[in-house]
Amino acid sequence: MKTQARLIASPSVRHRINVGVRTGLAAFGGYGLALLGAAAFAAGLPFDFRPDAVSLAIMLAFVLQLVAIIWVFAAATVTRAVLGLAVPAALFGLWLLLLRQ
């Protein structure tokens, strides 16, 4: 069938690798960033009542995950997709590190 023939063709294989990488990034990177962001927000947001920070951190985490997933697929290249996750992740990590000290 035509579809199958197209899939075997080499541009399609490249495409599949591309999509596979992005899917993995979206699933694990997106969730990881959400977890990391939630940790930083929950500890670092300036609230007197800490549970408020926790609630807000959870809400922001889901938004963060959404944006991360969209970004991973929207970025023109995989390199940019990775950077788009790595930079905020590093920032959140740094923030957490500072909070711990």
User: Rounded CA gap, 101 and 37, in Å?
Assistant: 18
Structure tokens at 19: 């999509």
Classify residue 11 by its DSSP letter: H
What is the residue type of 22?
Answer: R
User: Is 84 a binder of other proteins (CB under 8 A)?
Assistant: no
Select the residue interacting with other proteins from 8, 46, 79, 101 (CB under 8 A).
Answer: 79
> Least CB distance from residue 64 to other proteins, whole Å?
10
One of 2, 5, 46, 101 touching other proteins (CB under 8 A): 2
Binding pattern to other proteins, positions 39-78, x when CB under 8 A?
A: xxxxx---x-xxxxxxxxxxx-xx--xx--xx--xx-xxx
90 lines the binding site for other proteins (CB under 8 A): no
Residue 11 vs 87, nearer CB to other proteins: 11
User: Contact at 8 Å (CB) between 80 and 63?
Assistant: no
Tokens 């996750």 belong to which residue? 85
Distance CA 22, CA 50 (A): 36
Is 24 one of the binding residues for other proteins (CB under 8 A)?
no
